[in-house]
C-alpha cells in the first residue's frame, strides 16, 4: 500500500509541475517577466508578497492593473512600497504597459535604457528614489509618453536633447537632482507641455528663446540653478503661464515688461538674482497675480506697484533691493486682498505709510532696515488682522500708541533699533496672543508694566539698551512659556522676584548692566531648561543657593562685577558649561576640581576674588579652553604641567597671586597663546627660551617676580609681540639684539633689574614703539644710541638711574611725540637738545656736565674756562702790539732824525745864501723844501705812546666781544 501512495504522490507532483511550467515557465508570458523583475527588488514590507507562481491570476497581484481582457498588464504602481534594489531592464518585455510608477522608494542604480522600448508608455514616475547616472537618451523613443517625473534622485549629466521627441509630453519634472549643462533648445518642440520643473540642479547657460514654442505651458520652475543672462522677453508669449519661478540664479538685466502680458499668471518669483533697474509699472496689469517675490536683487527706483488691478495680490516680497522714495498714496486701495508685505532692507523713507491702514486684510508687515521716521499713527489698530509688525532698524520716534493694545491678533512685535521714547503702554497687556516683543536699542523709559505679564503666551522679551527703571514685575512668573528674558542695560533696580523661578521654560536670562540687588532666589533651581544666565554689573550679594547645582543644562554663566560671596561650587552642577565668568566678586574657598568635567569650557574667569589653595590639575582636561583668568586671588603652589594640555588657550592670566616655582618650559608649547601674565607672583629662575615658540604672543607680563639670568635670545621669535614687561626682577646681562625682530612692539618695560652693557642700537628699529621705553634702574653704560631718534611714535622714554655717558644724541630731539622724558642720574654731558627745553628739571638731574634749558646756560657753566682762555689770548695780542708799536716808533724816530739833520743843513745853507728861496730837483721834479707836508703840525704828530694805548684799547674791545 505504501508503494501505491508513493506512486500517486509522484504522479500528482508531476501534474502540478507540468501545469506550472505550462502557465508560468513560458518566457513569453508577462508573469514570467514580472517574477524576474521581482527578483531584483528587495521587499522588506511585503508589497510583492502575492507575486507568486502559485497565484495564476496575475491581475490580482499587488500594484498591477490589467486591460479589460484581463490578458495584458497596462499599469504597475508600487509607489511608496519601501522597495530597494535596482530597476530591472526586463520591464521592456511588458510591451502593453501604459503607466509605471515606482516613485517614493529606495531604488538605486541607473534608469535602464531598455525602458525606451515601452512604446505604449504614457506615464513614467521614478521620482524620490536614489537613482543615479544620466537620463538615457532612449527615453526619447517613448513617443506616447505624457508624464515623465524623475526628480528627487541623484541623476547627473545633461538633460538629453532627445526629450524634444516626446511630442505628447505634458509634464516633465527633474527637480532636485544633480543635472548640469543647459536647458536644451529642443524643449521648445514640446507643444503640449504644461509643466516644466527643473528646480534645484546645476543647470547653467541662458533660458532658450525657443521655450516660447511651449504654447500650453502653465508651470515653469527653474529656481536654484546657475542660469545666467537676461530673462527672455519671449516668455511673455506663454499666455497660459500661471507659475513662473526663476529664483536663486544669476539672471541679470531688467525685468522684461513683456511679463505683463501673462494675464493668467498667479505666481511670479524672481528672488535671488542680479536683476537691476526699476520694477516695471506694467506689472500692475497682472490682475490674477497672487504672490510676487522680487527680493534679493538690485532693483532701484520707486515702488510703483499695487493698484486697483492687483486686487488678487496676497503676498508682495520686495526685500533686499535698493528701492527708494516712500510708499505711494494709492497703495492698497479698497478691496485689496494683500496679506503679506515685505519691504525690508531697502532705501525707503518717509513716515509710517498711512496707506497701509486701508489694507484691512493685511497680516504681516515688514518695513525693517529702511529710513522711515516719525511717530506711529494712533489709528494703527485699524489693522485688526495684523499678526506680525516688523519695523526694526528705522528712525521711528515718539511713544508707542496705546491703541496697539487693541490689535488682538498681534503675535510678533519687532520695534528694536529705533528712537522710541516714553513708557510702554499698559494696554499692551491686552494682547493675549502676543508671543514675541523686541524693543531693544530704543530710548524707552519708565517701569515695565505689570500688565505685560497678562500676555501669558509670551515666549520672548527683549528690552535691552533702554532706560526702563523700577523693579522687575513680581508677577513675571505668570509667563509660563517664556524662553528668553533679555533686560540687559537698563536702570532696573530691586531684587529678582522669586516668581521668576516659575518660568520653567526659560532658556536665556540676561539681567546684566542694571542696578539690581539682593540675592538669587532659591526658586532658580526650578529653571531646569536654563542655558544662559548673565547678571554682571549689578549689586547682587550673598552666597549662591546650593540648589543652583540642579541646573544641569547651564552653558553660559556670567556673574562678574557683583558682590557675591561664599563658594562657587553651586555653579558647577552642569557638565555642559562653555563660559563661567565670576570676575570681581568676593568668592572664597578653593577652585572646584569638578570644573574639569566641563570639557566644552572655553572661558573660565575667576579673577579678582578671594580664592585660595592651588590650581587644580583637573583644569588640564579643558582642552577647548581659550581664556583662563585666575588673577588677583590668593592662590599658592606651582603652575602644574597638566595645563599644557590646553593647547587652544589664548589668554593665560595668573597674575597677582602667590604662585611660586620656576616658569615651566611647556609654556612654549601653547601655540595659540596671545597673552601671558604671570606678574606679581613669586616665580624664580630664568625666563624659559621655549617661550620663543609662542609665535602668536601679543602681551608678555612677567614683572614683579624673582626671575634671574639673561633675557633669552629667542625672545626675537615673538614677532607679533606688542607689550614686553619684565620690570622689577633680578635679570642680568645684555638686552638681546634679536629684539629688533619684534617690530610690532609698542611697549617695553625692563626697569629695576641688573641689566648691563650698552643699550642696543637695534632698539631704534622697533619703530612702532609708542607707549613707553623704560630701561631705568639698571646698569647700562656707554652712550645713548642715536638710533633711538627713529622712534617717532614714542611717548615716554625713561633711561634714568644707569651709567650712561656722553652727550644726548641730537637725533632724540626729533621725538616730537615724547611727553615724558627721564635721563636723570647718569653721567651725561654736553648740550641738551633744544626741543627738550619744555621738560621739567627732574628729567636731567644728577648728570656730570649737562647744560642748556631747563638746566643752566652752557656759557655760564663754562664762563671761567672761557675767561682764562681769553686772558691768554689778550696777553699774546698785547705782546704783539707792543713789539709792533716799538718797531714803528723806532722807524719814525729814525725818519725824524734824518729830517732834522737835513733841516739843519738847509738852515745853514740859507744863512750862507741869504733869503733867496732854494729849490732842488729830485728825480726830475722840483722839491719845495719848505713844504708843510714834511713837517706836520703839532696836532698831527703821531706819538708812540698814543699808538700803544690805542692798540691796547682795541684788544680789550675784542676781549669784551668774545665774552659777550
Phi-psi sector, 864: left (phi>0), alpha (psi -120 to 50), beta: alpha
Q: Each residue of 329-351: pLDDT tens digit? A: 778 777 788 999 999 999 999 99
Q: Each residue of 601-653: pLDDT tens digit? A: 999 999 999 999 999 999 999 999 999 999 999 999 999 999 999 999 999 99
What is the per-residue pLDDT for 450? 97
Q: Each residue of 786-823: pLDDT tens digit? A: 999 999 999 999 999 999 999 999 999 999 999 999 99
| Percent of the chain clearing pLDDT 90 (strictly above) | 79
What is the per-residue pLDDT for 432? 95
d(CA 597, CA 600) in angstroms, rounded, equals 9
What is the per-residue pLDDT for 355? 84
What is the per-residue pLDDT for 872? 52
Q: Each residue of 831-873: pLDDT tens digit? A: 999 899 899 999 999 998 899 888 887 764 444 444 444 455 5
d(CA 905, CA 908) in angstroms, rounded, equals 5
Q: Each residue of 440-479: pLDDT tens digit? A: 999 999 999 999 999 999 999 999 999 999 999 999 999 9
d(CA 634, CA 609) in angstroms, rounded, equals 8
Split at pLDDT 50, 70, 90, the class of 902 is: low
Angle at 85 between CA 83 and CA 86, to 5 degrees: 115
With a cut of 70, say whether residue 234 has pLDDT above it. Answer: yes
- Which residue has better confidence, 808 or 903? 808
Q: Each residue of 160-208: pLDDT tens digit? A: 999 999 999 999 999 999 999 999 999 999 999 999 999 999 999 999 9
With a cut of 90, say whether residue 711 has pLDDT above it. Answer: yes
If you count DSSP H runs as helices and E runs as strands, how many of each does the chain have, helices first?
5, 69
Split at pLDDT 50, 70, 90, the class of 358 is: confident
With a cut of 70, say whether residue 955 has pLDDT above it. Answer: no
Identify whether the C-beta of residue 855 lies closer than 8 Å to the C-beta of residue 837.
Answer: no
List, in order of start, the domains of the chain with CATH numbers: 10-139 (3.80.10.10), 778-858 (3.80.10.10)
What is the per-residue pLDDT for 900? 67
Mean pLDDT confidence for 750-757: 97
Torsion angles phi and psi, residue 275, rounded to 5? -70, 145
Residue in 485, 441, 440 with CA at minimum distance from that of residue 459: 485
Q: How many CB atoms lie within 10 A of CB 21?
A: 11
Split at pLDDT 50, 70, 90, the class of 948 is: very low
- Which residue has better confidence, 916 or 758? 758
Split at pLDDT 50, 70, 90, the class of 876 is: low
Q: Which three-class secondary structure state does DSSP give residue 955?
A: helix
What DSSP line would sit under 626-652, residue for residue?
-EEE--SSEE-S---GGGGG-TT--EE
Residue 611 CB partners (closer than 8 Å, separation 6+): 587, 588, 589, 590, 591, 630, 633, 634, 635
Mean pLDDT lowest for which of 13-27, 541-555, 794-808, 841-855? 13-27
What is the per-residue pLDDT for 889? 73
Split at pLDDT 50, 70, 90, the class of 878 is: low
Split at pLDDT 50, 70, 90, the class of 327 is: confident
| Percent of the chain clearing pLDDT 70 (strictly above) | 88
Identify whether the C-beta of residue 650 lies closer than 8 Å to the C-beta of residue 676.
Answer: no
DSSP H helices in 423-576: none
Residue in 343, 163, 470, 501 with CA at minimum distance from that of residue 485: 501
What is the per-residue pLDDT for 901? 65
With a cut of 50, say whether residue 406 has pLDDT above it. Answer: yes
d(CA 869, CA 880) in angstroms, rounded, equals 17
Phi-psi sector, 592: left (phi>0), alpha (psi -120 to 50), beta: beta
Computed over every residue of the chain, the mean pLDDT equals: 88
What kind and span of H or E run contains 948? helix 944-963
With a cut of 70, say whether residue 413 has pLDDT above it. Answer: yes
What is the per-residue pLDDT for 388? 97
What is the per-residue pLDDT for 903? 56
Q: How many CB atoms lie within 10 A of CB 236?
A: 17
Residue in 651, 661, 607 with CA at minimum distance from that of residue 632: 607
What is the per-residue pLDDT for 956? 39
Cα–Cα separations (whole angstroms), residue 714 to 48, 357, 687, 698, 827: 77, 73, 10, 15, 32
What is the per-residue pLDDT for 867? 42
- Which residue has better confidence, 308 or 717? 717
Amino acid at each position: 500500500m505504501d508503494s501505491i501512495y508513493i506512486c500517486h504522490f509522484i504522479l500528482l507532483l508531476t501534474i502540478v509541475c507540468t501545469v506550472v511550467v505550462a502557465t508560468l515557465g513560458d518566457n513569453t508570458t508577462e508573469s514570467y517577466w514580472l517574477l524576474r523583475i521581482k527578483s531584483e527588488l528587495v521587499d522588506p514590507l511585503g508589497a510583492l508578497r502575492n507575486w507568486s507562481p502559485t497565484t495564476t491570476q496575475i491581475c490580482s497581484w499587488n500594484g498591477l492593473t490589467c486591460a479589460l481582457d484581463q490578458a495584458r498588464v497596462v499599469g504597475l504602481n508600487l509607489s511608496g512600497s519601501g522597495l530597494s534594489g535596482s530597476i530591472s531592464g526586463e520591464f521592456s518585455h511588458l510591451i502593453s504597459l501604459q503607466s509605471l510608477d515606482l516613485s517614493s522608494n529606495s531604488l538605486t542604480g541607473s534608469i535602464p535604457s531598455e525602458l525606451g522600448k515601452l512604446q505604449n508608455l504614457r506615464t513614467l514616475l521614478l521620482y524620490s528614489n536614489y537613482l543615479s547616472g544620466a537620463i538615457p537618451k532612449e527615453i526619447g523613443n517613448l513617443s506616447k509618453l505624457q508624464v515623465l517625473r524623475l526628480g528627487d534622485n541623484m541623476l547627473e549629466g545633461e538633460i538629453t536633447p532627445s526629450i524634444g521627441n516626446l511630442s505628447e509630453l505634458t509634464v516633465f519634472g527633474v527637480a532636485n537632482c544633480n543635472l548640469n549643462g543647459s536647458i536644451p533648445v529642443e524643449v521648445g518642440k514640446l507643444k503640449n507641455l504644461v509643466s516644466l520643473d527643473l528646480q534645484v540642479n546645476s543647470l547653467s547657460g541662458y533660458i532658450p528663446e525657443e521655450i516660447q514654442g511651449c504654447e500650453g505651458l502653465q508651470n515653469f520652475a527653474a529656481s536654484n540653478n546657475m542660469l545666467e543672462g537676461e530673462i527672455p522677453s519671449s516668455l511673455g508669449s506663454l499666455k497660459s503661464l500661471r507659475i513662473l519661478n526663476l529664483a536663486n540664479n544669476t539672471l541679470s538685466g531688467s525685468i522684461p515688461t513683456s511679463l505683463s502680458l501673462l494675464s493668467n499668471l498667479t505666481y511670479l518669483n524672481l528672488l535671488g538674482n542680479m536683476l537691476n533697474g526699476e520694477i516695471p509699472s506694467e506689472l500692475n496689469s497682472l490682475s490674477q497675480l497672487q504672490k510676487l517675490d522680487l527680493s534679493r536683487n538690485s532693483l532701484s527706483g520707486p515702488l510703483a506697484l499695487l493698484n486697483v488691478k492687483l486686487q488678487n495680490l496676497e503676498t508682495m516680497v520686495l526685500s533686499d533691493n535698493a528701492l527708494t522714495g516712500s510708499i505711494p498714496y494709492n497703495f492698497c486701495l479698497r478691496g485689496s486682498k494683500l496679506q503679506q508685505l515685505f519691504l525690508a532692507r531697502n532705501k525707503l523713507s518717509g513716515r509710517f505709510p498711512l496707506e497701509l491702514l486701508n489694507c484691512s486684510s493685511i497680516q504681516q508687515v515688514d518695513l525693517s532696515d529702511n529710513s522711515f521716521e516719525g511717530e506711529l499713527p494712533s489709528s494703527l489698530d485699524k489693522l485688526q488682522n495684523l499678526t506680525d509688525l516688523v519695523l526694526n532698524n528705522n528712525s521711528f520716534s515718539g511713544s508707542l500708541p496705546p491703541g496697539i493694545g487693541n490689535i488682538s491678533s498681534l503675535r510678533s512685535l519687532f520695534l528694536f533699533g529705533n528712537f522710541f521714547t516714553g513708557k510702554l503702554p499698559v494696554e499692551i497687556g491686552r494682547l493675549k496672543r502676543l508671543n514675541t516683543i523686541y524693543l531693544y536699542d530704543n530710548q524707552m523709559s519708565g517701569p515695565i508694566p505689570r500688565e505685560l505679564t497678562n500676555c501669558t503666551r509670551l515666549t520672548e522679551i527683549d528690552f535691552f539698551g533702554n532706560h526702563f527703571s523700577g523693579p522687575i514685575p513680581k508677577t513675571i512668573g505668570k509667563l509660563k512659556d517664556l524662553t528668553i528674558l533679555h533686560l540687559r542695560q537698563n536702570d532696573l533696580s530691586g531684587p529678582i522676584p522669586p516668581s521668576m523661578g516659575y518660568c520653567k521654560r526659560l532658556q536665556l536670562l540676561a539681567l546684566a548692566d542694571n542696578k539690581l540687588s539682593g540675592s538669587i532666589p532659591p526658586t532658580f533651581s526650578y529653571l531646569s531648561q536654563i542655558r544662559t544666565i548673565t547678571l554682571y554689573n549689578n549689586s547682587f550679594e550673598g552666597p549662591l543657593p546650593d540648589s543652583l547645582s540642579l541646573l544641569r543644562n547651564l552653558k553660559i554663566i556670567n556673574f562678574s562685577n557683583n558682590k557675591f560671596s561664599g563658594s562657587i561650587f553651586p555653579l558647577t552642577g552642569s557638565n555642559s558649561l562653555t563660559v563661567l565668568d565670576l570676575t570681581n566678586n568676593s568668592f572664597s574657598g578653593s577652585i572646584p576640581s569638578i570644573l574639569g568635567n566641563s570639557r566644552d569650557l572655553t572661558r573660565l574667569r575667576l579673577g579678582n576674588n578671594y580664592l585660595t589653595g592651588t590650581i587644580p590639575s583637573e583644569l588640564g582636561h579643558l582642552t577647548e579652553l581659550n581664556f583662563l583668568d585666575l588673577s588677583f586671588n590668593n592662590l599658592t603652589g606651582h603652575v602644574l604641567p597638566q595645563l599644557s594640555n590646553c593647547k587652544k588657550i589664548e589668554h593665560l592670566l595668573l597674575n597677582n597671586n602667590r604662585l611660586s616655582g620656576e616658569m615651566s618650559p611647556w609654556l612654549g608649547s601653547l601655540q595659540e597663546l596671545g597673552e601671558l601674565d604671570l606678574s606679581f607672583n613669586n616665580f624664580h629662575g630664568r625666563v624659559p627660551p621655549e617661550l620663543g615658540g609662542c609665535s602668536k604672543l601679543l602681551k608678555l607680563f612677567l614683572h614683579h617676580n624673582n626671575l634671574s639670568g639673561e633675557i633669552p635670545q629667542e625672545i626675537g621669535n615673538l614677532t607679533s609681540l606688542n607689550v614686553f614687561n619684565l620690570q622689577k626682577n633680578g635679570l642680568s646681562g645684555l638686552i638681546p639684539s634679536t629684539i629688533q625682530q619684534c617690530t610690532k612692539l609698542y611697549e617695553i618695560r625692563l626697569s629695576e633689574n641688573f641689566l648691563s652693557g650698552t643699550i642696543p642700537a637695534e632698539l631704534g628699529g622697533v619703530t612702532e614703539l609708542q607707549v613707553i621705553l623704560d630701561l631705568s634702574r639698571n646698569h647700562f653704560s656707554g652712550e645713548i644710541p642715536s638710533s633711538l631718534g627713529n622712534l617717532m611714535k614714542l611717548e615716554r622714554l625713561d633711561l634714568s638711574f644707569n651709567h650712561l655717558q656722553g652727550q644726548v644724541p641730537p637725533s632724540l630731539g626729533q621725538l616730537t611725540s615724547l611727553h615724558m622724558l627721564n635721563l636723570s642720574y647718569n653721567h651725561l654731558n654736553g648740550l641738551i637738545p633744544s626741543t627738550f627745553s619744555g621738560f621739567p628739571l627732574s628729567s636731567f638731574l644728577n648728570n656730570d656736565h649737562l647744560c642748556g634749558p631747563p638746566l643752566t646756560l652752557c656759557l655760564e657753566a663754562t664762563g671761567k674756562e672761557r675767561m682764562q682762555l681769553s686772558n691768554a689770548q689778550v696777553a699774546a695780542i698785547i705782546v704783539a702790539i707792543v713789539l709792533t708799536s716799538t718797531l714803528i716808533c723806532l722807524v719814525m724816530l729814525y725818519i725824524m732824525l734824518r729830517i732834522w739833520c737835513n733841516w739843519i743843513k738847509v738852515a745853514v745853507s740859507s744863512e750862507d745864501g741869504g733869503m733867496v728861496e732854494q729849490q732842488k730837483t729830485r728825480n726830475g721834479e722840483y722839491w719845495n723844501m719848505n713844504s708843510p707836508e714834511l713837517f706836520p703840525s703839532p696836532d698831527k704828530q703821531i706819538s708812540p705812546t698814543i699808538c700803544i694805548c690805542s692798540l691796547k684799547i682795541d684788544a680789550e674791545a675784542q676781549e669784551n666781544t668774545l665774552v659777550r
